[in-house]
Every structure is written in structure tokens, then in C-alpha cells.
């Protein structure tokens, strides 16, 4: 009977508990917004001591508000049985951290000597605050996305919003050494968010450390956002009225059937990403010659920046002249390391997860065999068609690019390197065209065959679900296989003993067509705005922007504002995908009320 009473109590207070819980998150969200603006002001402008005192007071207030809010939430959590234990623990951890911080900054703190190590209190509280607000927002984002909003609109708008935010942050006085126009900062922000790497400013000279960190953040969001968004959009799809078919697509994307698995896939993705970037940064740190930097910190920042930039296929560099710098381009090992980061970023997470499963099973089988003498457990078709396709095509394209660039540029753009460096630089260039965009070679003097090859490779781009752009390797392979099988007279498109669904073919068709039309249209506009440029340069630039590669023949800085806007749009469309871009602005309908008789069309 006692439990019954307890249950009754819980039930009767359910309404109030929910209401209080909502209010608490409301308070946290609004505090977050205010905190954000103040924080931007704090970062962006130099403060005098009077303002500094106000800010300190403000931060302390926020600290207390948050502590109270989280204390309340933790109390509510005790009674809430539906909530996931992980989330409860997270809430509790945050509360502990906040209490610890209050302890830390109290006048008679026992941890006072810690503070002497830290240069400023801001270095500690701003990451903690940012983390808290990020968690809170992403939690609410899930419920926000669950509403019946056009998911593609959200995708596009979030890109635009982040770009504008980035542009504004880069316009802050503390971010730059010289005054940049709004178009330039927006262009830079777009280039970073869309992980393109085209830039109209010199990151190493025009941006302060703060500006560079902002760029880095934008790259990371851009690289991560696309993937999480892919999962979130998948999340959307698993609502009530989804077809079985779409569920299958989603399953393919996240390799899982349940919503929880999609979320866990997102966690996996983020952790894989951080792991690879960390390892990459470590390698770069050791491979780059230390005497190039004033301090170890600079070297470290360089390593982190390039690791993230490479993994996210952004292609931005915070070094003067980028990797083309005379002290960097003769470092084959550094270039190789970067190449692998680019390839890993570009190969896509679905395939990574797929291989993760494969390796896990293999190890498990080994383990069982050796220890328990069990038979091998064979899971059929574990490496799915997509993964196979991606692996083959990526391999072929990398090899083609490598050999092609090596052969065509042996005595031209690769003239200054010795044989092994030539091999390394050719390999690096082959990877960077898809679609990272670091320039080691001088792209303004390349031979025409290389030019065509690079444009083609940029257009094809990376693999789906990765950080790279382009029309994607799968699209390209479906395109080629389609005309090949039609010419052979096959009635279906068969790849690797699997029939490719008509929906996939049509989608690939739409992607190819749209990419060509967008690029063509942009070339037209750029030629109109900047008639002084040659056709080659404009075409190269447009392909580079659409594929979010970021290679250039050196015309980006001289573009007129009109062309810059065109390129920005092109980068955005290339990033979110032409189909998603159009879908964002039209009403989507999944219902086919009528089915018409079939009709073949004459060509």
C-alpha cells in the first residue's frame, strides 16, 4: 500500500513537475541567449576596468542562476522514472561542476592556488557555460525538430544562420587586424561553414587568434553539422507517416533500425571524429618543423587547426600561403598525414560505421574461436553495397588522380620537387581535389589535362555521409553504370548482384543535372560580373565552390562583390545539396493519390 501511495503522489504531481521542468529549461535557454550576447561583446571588444567589473558580476549571476536551475532539475529527476539514466547523470555532473566553480571563485576558497595558474577566470567558465548551453539547446533541438517542419528548410536555415553568426563574429574588432567588409567576412564564414576553403582574406595575416579560433569553430560545426543533421533528418523520417522504403534508407544511413540507434550513431560519429582529429593533430605536431613557430602553443594550434581543417575537408590554413609555403610543401610525411585525414573525412561515416561493425565481428569471431573454440559466426553481406561502391570508386579515383597529376605535371607544376616528393605531392593533390582544397601545387600554371582531371575529380567529390562535397562517388558510379548497362541492353541496373532501385537512379540523375545547371548558371553570372577573368579560371572556381573543394587558380581575392555573393550561394547549395536546397522552399508531399498509366518518352 505504501508504494501505491507513493505512486499516487507521483501521479498527482505529474502535471506540476512537468510544468516546473519546462520552466527550468526555459530559464536556462533564455539565460543562454543573454549569456551568448554578452560573451560575444566580451570577446569582440576591448574592455575597460569598469566594464570588466560589470561583466564579472554578470557571470557570477549566471553561475548562480544555473546552479539553482540545475539543482531544481536534479530534484525533479529523482522522481522522474521515464528519464534516461545517462541524462540524469549528465545533469548531476553539471550541477557538481557548477558547485565546484562556485567553491573555486568564492573569496575563501580552498582551491585558490589553482586560480593562479589560470590567466583569467574566463578561460574556465566560458567553456563550462558553453557546454551547458550547448547540451541544453541540443536537447531542445530534438523536440524542435520533431515538429512537423520541413527538415530541409531547417537544414538550409541552420547553415545560413551559422554563416551569418560567423560573419558577425568575424566582424568584431578583436577578430581582425584590419577592417573587412561585410561581404568579405560573410564569404570567409561561408567558406568555413561549408568547409570549402575558398577565402578572400589572408587568414594568417588578417585574423587574430580569436578570428582563427572562430574559423576553426565554424569548420568544426560545418563538418559535424552536416553529419548530425543527416541523422536528425533521419530522425524526422522515423515519424509516423514514413514509408517502409524510407525507413530502409535511414537504416542504410545510420546502420540501425531504431531511433535510439540513430542517436547513438551520432554519438559514435562525434567520438570517431574527435579521436581521428586528435590523432591527426598529434601527428601533425610532430611532423611539422618546430622552428617555423614562435612558440609551442603556436605549433600546437597549427596542428589542431590543420587536423580539423583536413578532416572536415575544409582546406583552410592559418599559415601564410597555406601548405604552399616554402617550408611546408617539401614535407612529404606531413602531406601524407594530411592526405589520410582528408580521405578519412571524405569517405563518409556510414562506411566507417559499417567497417567498425565488420572489424568488431571479425575480432569477436577470432576471440570466440581462440578462447571458446566456437565456430565462426558469419553475417551475410555485412559490408553493404554502398560501402563496396564507395571503396572501389574512391580507390579508383584516388589512383587516377595520383597517376594523372604525376604524369602530366612531372615537368611543370611538380618541377621543383624531387622524385619522392613528386609522388607525395601528386598523391596529396589527388586527395585534396576531393574535396579538401589545400593547394600545394601552383594551380594557376597546371597543364590542361590536369585541369580537366582536377575539375572532374572536384565535381565527383567525396563520399556520401562524409565531410566532403561534390556530387558524391556513389552518384557518379550510378551515372556511369547506368549508361553502360543501357548501352548493353540490360533491363535493370545491376551493380554487384544488386538491382539499383529506380528511386536511387532518379535521385542520382537529379543530383547530376542540378549540379551542372547550378554551376553553369554561376559561371554565367560570374562572367557577367567579372568579364576580365578567363573562362578557365571562372569554371575552375565555380566547380571548386560547388564541390566545396576550395582550390583556386588565384582569382578569389580579385572577385567583385557580385561574384562573391554568387560563389557564396554556390558553396551553400553545394554543401546542403541541390535537392535539399530546393526542397527547403517547396511543399513536400509524399502522397500519391493517383497512379497514371505509364508512358515512355521519345528522345
Partner 1 sequence: MKKLDSFKSWLARLQTFSKLIIRLIDWALLFSIIVVILVMVYDFGFEDTYRDAELFKRFYVSYISFYTGIGSLRFIFNFFHQEKPVRQKIFEFILLILFAGAYELMTQNRSQGWTAFFYEFYPYFVFPLFILVFFYSISKNAASFYRKNMNPAVLLVLTFFILSGVGTLGLLLPNSTFDGISYIDALFTSVSAVCITGLIVADTAETFTFFGQTIILLLMQLGGLGVMTFAGLLGKMFASGVSFQQQMILKETILGDKLSEVMNTIYKIILITFLVEAIGALGIYISTWEYPFDNEWHRIFFAVFHSVSAFCNAGFVLAEEGMLHPYIETNYSFQLVIAVLFIMGGIGFPVVFAFYSQVKNFIRNVFRKIFFKKRFHHLAHTLGINSRLMIWSSLVLTITSILFIALFEWNNTLSHHSFFGKIVGLFFTAATPRSAGFNVVDMTAIAYPTAMFYMLMMWIGASPGGTGGGIKTTTFSISLLNFWNIAKGKENVNIFGREVGQESLRRAYAIISLSIVLMGLFTFLVYSFDGQLALIHIVFEVFSAFNNCGLSLGSSGEFSPESKFILSLAMFAGRVGTLTLLSAFLYKKKKNNYQYPSQEIIF
Considering only residues 473 to 502 of the shown chain, the ones binding partner 1 according to CB under 8 A are 474-475, 478-480, 482-484, 486-495, 497-502
Q: Decide: is 268 part of the binding site for partner 1 (CB under 8 A).
A: no
Task: Collect contacts of 240-244 with beta carbons under 8 A, ≥24 apart.
Answer: 241/590, 243/590
Q: What's the CA gap between 126 and 287, in Å, rounded? A: 32
Query: Three-state SS for 66?
Result: helix
Q: Decide: is 42 part of the binding site for partner 1 (CB under 8 A).
A: no
Closest C-alpha among 597, 593, 548 to residue 573: 548
Q: Dump strand ranges (E) for 103-156.
A: none
CB 438 within 8 A of CB 482: no
Q: 43: how many CB neighbours lie within 10 A of its CB?
A: 16
Q: What's the CA gap between 167 and 85, in Å, rounded? A: 39
Q: Decide: is 233 part of the binding site for partner 1 (CB under 8 A).
A: no
Residue whose CB is less far from partner 1, 357 or 536: 536
Find the binder of partner 1 among 91, 252, 409, 541 (CB under 8 A): 252
Span 296-355, contacts to partner 1 by CB under 8 A: 350
Window of 53-61, 160-168, 320-328, 531-539 that interacts with partner 1 by CB under 8 A: 531-539
Residue whose CB is less far from partner 1, 323 or 538: 538
The three grid cell numbers given for residue 388, joined into one nine-digit string: 563496396
Find the binder of partner 1 among 464, 468, 550, 574 (CB under 8 A): 464
Window of 217-225, 275-283, 505-513, 542-550 that interacts with partner 1 by CB under 8 A: 505-513
The three grid cell numbers given for residue 215, joined into one nine-digit string: 574559423
**What is the closest distance, in whole angstroms, from the C-beta atom of residue 340 to partner 1 in the complex?**
23
Q: Decide: is 178 part of the binding site for partner 1 (CB under 8 A).
A: no
What letter does residue 304 receive in the DSSP assignment? H
Residue whose CB is less far from partner 1, 175 or 386: 386
**What is the closest distance, in whole angstroms, from the C-beta atom of residue 566 to partner 1 in the complex?**
13
Residue whose CB is less far from partner 1, 180 or 525: 525
Q: Decide: is 582 part of the binding site for partner 1 (CB under 8 A).
A: yes
Residue whose CB is less far from partner 1, 34 or 248: 248
**What is the closest distance, in whole angstroms, from the C-beta atom of residue 428 to partner 1 in the complex?**
24
Find the binder of partner 1 among 442, 504, 562, 565 (CB under 8 A): 504
Q: Decide: is 269 part of the binding site for partner 1 (CB under 8 A).
A: no
The three grid cell numbers given for residue 305, joined into one nine-digit string: 587547426
Q: Decide: is 380 part of the binding site for partner 1 (CB under 8 A).
A: no
Q: Decide: is 248 part of the binding site for partner 1 (CB under 8 A).
A: yes
For the chain, the straight-line distance linking the first and the last C-alpha, in angstroms and rounded, comes to: 79
The three grid cell numbers given for residue 347, joined into one nine-digit string: 569517405
Q: What's the CA gap between 36 and 484, in Å, rounded? A: 55
Residue whose CB is less far from partner 1, 282 or 383: 383
Window of 104-112, 193-201, 320-328, 590-598 that interacts with partner 1 by CB under 8 A: 590-598
Q: Decide: is 249 part of the binding site for partner 1 (CB under 8 A).
A: yes
CB-hemisphere CA count at 13 Å for 45? 12
CB 193 within 8 A of CB 166: yes
CB 557 within 8 A of CB 541: no
Window of 131-139, 368-376, 468-476, 558-566 that interacts with partner 1 by CB under 8 A: 468-476
x/- map, 45-84, partner 1, by CB under 8 A = ----------------------------------------
Query: Three-state SS for 495?
Result: strand
**What is the closest distance, in whole angstroms, from the C-beta atom of residue 191 to partner 1 in the complex?**
23
Distance (Å) of CA 67 to CA 6, 83, 125, 369, 412: 28, 20, 13, 52, 64
Beta bridge partners of 207: 176
Window of 135-143, 268-276, 435-443, 589-597 that interacts with partner 1 by CB under 8 A: 589-597
Q: Decide: is 516 part of the binding site for partner 1 (CB under 8 A).
A: yes
Closest C-alpha among 428, 412, 272, 453 to residue 352: 272
Tell me the site size for partner 1, rule CB under 8 A.
84
Find the binder of partner 1 among 191, 322, 332, 465 (CB under 8 A): 465
Q: Decide: is 520 part of the binding site for partner 1 (CB under 8 A).
A: yes
Residue whose CB is less far from partner 1, 46 or 380: 380
Residue whose CB is less far from partner 1, 167 or 348: 348
Closest C-alpha among 449, 448, 398 to residue 426: 398
Window of 79-87, 246-254, 318-326, 415-423 that interacts with partner 1 by CB under 8 A: 246-254
Window of 10-18, 63-71, 158-166, 466-474 that interacts with partner 1 by CB under 8 A: 466-474
Q: 16: how many CB neighbours lie within 10 A of its CB?
A: 9
**What is the closest distance, in whole angstroms, from the C-beta atom of residue 588 to partner 1 in the complex?**
4
Residue whose CB is less far from partner 1, 208 or 501: 501
Q: Decide: is 508 part of the binding site for partner 1 (CB under 8 A).
A: yes
Q: What's the CA gap between 292 and 280, in Å, rounded? A: 19
Q: Decide: is 389 part of the binding site for partner 1 (CB under 8 A).
A: yes
The three grid cell numbers given for residue 313, joined into one nine-digit string: 575537408
The backbone torsions φ and ψ at residue 494, rounded to the nearest 5 degrees and listed phi first, read -110, 125
DSSP H or E run through 494: strand 494-495
Q: What's the CA gap between 384 and 256, in Å, rounded? A: 13
Amino acid at each position: 500500500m505504501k508504494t501505491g501511495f507513493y505512486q499516487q503522489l507521483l501521479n498527482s504531481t505529474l502535471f506540476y513537475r512537468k510544468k516546473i521542468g519546462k520552466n527550468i529549461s526555459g530559464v536556462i535557454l533564455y539565460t543562454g541567449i543573454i549569456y551568448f550576447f554578452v560573451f560575444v561583446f566580451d570577446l569582440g571588444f576591448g574592455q575597460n576596468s569598469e566594464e570588466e567589473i560589470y561583466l564579472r558580476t554578470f557571470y557570477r549571476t549566471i553561475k548562480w542562476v544555473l546552479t539553482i536551475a540545475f539543482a531544481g532539475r536534479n530534484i525533479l529527476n529523482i522522481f522522474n522514472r521515464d528519464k534516461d539514466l545517462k541524462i540524469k547523470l549528465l545533469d548531476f555532473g553539471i550541477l557538481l561542476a557548477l558547485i565546484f566553480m562556485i567553491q573555486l571563485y568564492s573569496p575563501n576558497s580552498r582551491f585558490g592556488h589553482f586560480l593562479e595558474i589560470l590567466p583569467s577566470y574566463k578561460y574556465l567558465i566560458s567553456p563550462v557555460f558553453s557546454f551547458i548551453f550547448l547540451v541544453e539547446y541540443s536537447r531542445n533541438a530534438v523536440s524542435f525538430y520533431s515538429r512537423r517542419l520541413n527538415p530541409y528548410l531547417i537544414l538550409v536555415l541552420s547553415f545560413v544562420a551559422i554563416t551569418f553568426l560567423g560573419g558577425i563574429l568575424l566582424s568584431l574588432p578583436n577578430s581582425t587586424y584590419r577592417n573587412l567588409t561585410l561581404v568579405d567576412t560573410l564569404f570567409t564564414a561561408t567558406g568555413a561553414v561549408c568547409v570549402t576553403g575558398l577565402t578572400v582574406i589572408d587568414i594568417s595575416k588578417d585574423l587574430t587568434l580569436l578570428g582563427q579560433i572562430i574559423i576553426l569553430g565554424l569548420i568544426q560545426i560545418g563538418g559535424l553539422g552536416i553529419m548530425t543533421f543527416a541523422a536528425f533528418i533521419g530522425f524526422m523520417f522515423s515519424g509516423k507517416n514514413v514509408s517502409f522504403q524510407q525507413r530502409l534508407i535511414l537504416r542504410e544511413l545510420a546502420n540501425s533500425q531504431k531511433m535510439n540507434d540513430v542517436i547513438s550513431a551520432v554519438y559514435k560519429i562525434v567520438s570517431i571524429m574527435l579521436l581521428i582529429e586528435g590523432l591527426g593533430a598529434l601527428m601533425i605536431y610532430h611532423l611539422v618543423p618546430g622552428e617555423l613557430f614562435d612558440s609551442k602553443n603556436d605549433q600546437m594550434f597549427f596542428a589542431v587547426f590543420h587536423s580539423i581543417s583536413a578532416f572536415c575537408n575544409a582546406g583552410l590554413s592559418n599559415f601564410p600561403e597555406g601548405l604552399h609555403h616554402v617550408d611546408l610543401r617539401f614535407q612529404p610525411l606531413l602531406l601524407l598525414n594530411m592526405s589520410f585525414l582528408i580521405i578519412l573525412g571524405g569517405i563518409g561515416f556510414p562506411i566507417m560505421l559499417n567497417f567498425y561493425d565488420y572489424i568488431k565481428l571479425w575480432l569477436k569471431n577470432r576471440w570466440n574461436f581462440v578462447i571458446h573454440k566456437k565456430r565462426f559466426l558469419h553475417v551475410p553481406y555485412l559490408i553493404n553495397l554502398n560501402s563496396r561502391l564507395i571503396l572501389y570508386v574512391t580507390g579508383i579515383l584516388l589512383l587516377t588522380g595520383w597517376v594523372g597529376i604525376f604524369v602530366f605535371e612531372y615537368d611543370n607544376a611538380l618541377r621543383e620537387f624531387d622524385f619522392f616528393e613528386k609522388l607525395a605531392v601528386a598523391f596529396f593533390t589527388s586527395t585534396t581535389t576531393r574535396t579538401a582544397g589545400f593547394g600545394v601545387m601552383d594551380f594557376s600554371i597546371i597543364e590542361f589535362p590536369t585541369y580537366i582531371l582536377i575539375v572532374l575529380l572536384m565535381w565527383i567529390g567525396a563520399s556520401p555521409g562524409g565531410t566532403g562535397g561534390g556530387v558524391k562517388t556513389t552518384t557518379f558510379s550510378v551515372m556511369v553504370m547506368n549508361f553502360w548497362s543501357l548501352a548493353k541492353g540490360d533491363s535493370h541496373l545491376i551493380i554487384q548482384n544488386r538491382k539499383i532501385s529506380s528511386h536511387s537512379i532518379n535521385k542520382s540523375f537529379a543530383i547530376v543535372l542540378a549540379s551542372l545547371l547550378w554551376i553553369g548558371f554561376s559561371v554565367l553570372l560570374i562572367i557577367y560580373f567579372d568579364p576580365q577573368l578567363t573562362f578557365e579560371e571562372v569554371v575552375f572556381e565555380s566547380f571548386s565552390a560547388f564541390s566545396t573543394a576550395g582550390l583556386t587558380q588565384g582569382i578569389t581575392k580579385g572577385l567583385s562583390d557580385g561574384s562573391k555573393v554568387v560563389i557564396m550561394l554556390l558553396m551553400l547549395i553545394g554543401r546542403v545539396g541541390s535537392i535539399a536546397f530546393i526542397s527547403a522552399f517547396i511543399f513536400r508531399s509524399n502522397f500519391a493519390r493517383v497512379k497514371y498509366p505509364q508512358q515512355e518518352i521519345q528522345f
